[in-house]
Amino acid sequence: MRTSAIHIIATAIMLLGLLQAAAPEARAETDDMVTVPAGDFLPFYADGNSAQSVPAFRLDRYPVTNAQFLAFIQATPRWRRDAAPPIFVDKGYLRQWGSETQLGSEAPANHPVTRVSWFAARAYCRAQGKRLPTQTEWEYAGRWGNTSADGLLTAEAVERQIRNYANGSRRVEKDVTTIAPDKLGLVGMHELVWEWVEDFEASSVVGGDRGKDGKTEALFCGGAVLAATDSRDYAAFMRYAFRSSLQPTHTLPSLGFRCAADIQ
């Protein structure tokens, strides 16, 4: 059942290799963004068992930093924490900042900005002429270079990601320039903060060991029992579960974002 999908992916990976080689000029045009080449992607929770094709797109090299978000706030005062309406941000919005317009010691300039809602993240990206990546785009880019021949994440990569996610209360926000880039040139996809995606609520797959007895699967149209395509990928379970716990107004201390853009 899955073999066909795996074939597609394996082929896609070969093609991607070629595309990647052809990408440098696109990458050179903006150093702050990375071109993610087109390819096929088997979603973690798939409707059926088919891979999805992802057109090429650009993605911010780094998560958006405090300094960048401050510049946005200065240009767009209605997103200051004393001005943004509660229908868009909850009361934790930018709470770690020193003041309305100053970062302060809790929010170093080069650390990823956190405590921003989905609405605020979208507004930031729009102001840059960008948008939030879709969940599929983020996941596709985030596993780049970490897949084995069957298109699934390598055990080593899963383990590394789990270690980064499951680190408890130890703060992970670091200077974004201190993290080594991945094979695509992206920095901190798994090492820094959780990141908003445009369609985060599409992850609303609530598990539980009673999911199969009828009610939980009815959460999804057509009664499709959404099974994970790679039950060993505990890191993906964690990301999808995290997203499904979110409300668009949430401003969490470990949640930031980066922007994406279409290739015209």
Distance CA(19)–CA(56), nearest Å, equals 10
Q: To the nearest whole angstrom, how small is the minimum distance from the Cβ of residue 220 to other proteins? A: 5
Smallest gap from residue 189 Cβ to other proteins (A) = 16
Which DSSP helix (H) or strand (E) runs through 72?
helix 66-75
Nearer to other proteins by Cβ, of 44 and 144: the residue is 44
Q: Which is nearer to other proteins, 184 or 261 (CB)?
A: 261
| CA–CA separation, 58 and 264 (whole Å) | 10
Q: In the bound complex, what is the minimum distance in angstroms from residue 72's beta carbon to other proteins?
A: 12
Q: State in angstroms the smallest separation of the CB of 106 from other proteins.
A: 13
Nearer to other proteins, 16 or 46 (CB): 46
Distance CA 92, CA 251 (A): 6
Element (H, E) at 210: none
By C-alpha distance, which of 190, 165, 195, 183 is closest to 258?
195
Crossing angle between the packed helical segments 155-165 and 234-244, to the nearest 10 degrees:
40
Maximum alpha-carbon separation in the chain: 56
Nearer to other proteins by C-beta: 72 or 144?
72
How open is the CA angle 62-69-128, to the nearest 5 degrees?
Answer: 75
Structure-token pair, residue 29: 């045009």
**Which phi and psi (to 5°) does residue 181 adopt?**
-70, 155
CB of 49 to other proteins, least distance (A): 11
Residues forming the site for other proteins (CB under 8 A): 47-48, 50, 78, 85-88, 90, 92, 118-119, 122-123, 126-127, 131, 155, 158-159, 162-163, 165-169, 172, 198-199, 201-202, 204-211, 214-216, 218-223, 232, 234, 237-238, 240-242, 244-250, 252-254
**Shortest approach of other proteins to residue 176 CB, angstroms?**
18
Q: Tokens in use for 242? A: 């995290």
- What single-letter amino acid sits at 264? Q
Query: Closer to other proteins at the Cβ: 23 or 192?
Result: 192
N- to C-terminal Cα separation, the chain: 36
Sign of CA dihedral 40, 46, 47, 50: positive
> Which one, 65 or 251, has the nearer CB to other proteins?
251
Smallest gap, in angstroms, from Cβ of residue 124 to other proteins?
A: 10
CA distances from 65 to 119, 155, 209 (A): 17, 31, 39
Between 167 and 177, name the residue whose CB sits nearer to other proteins.
167
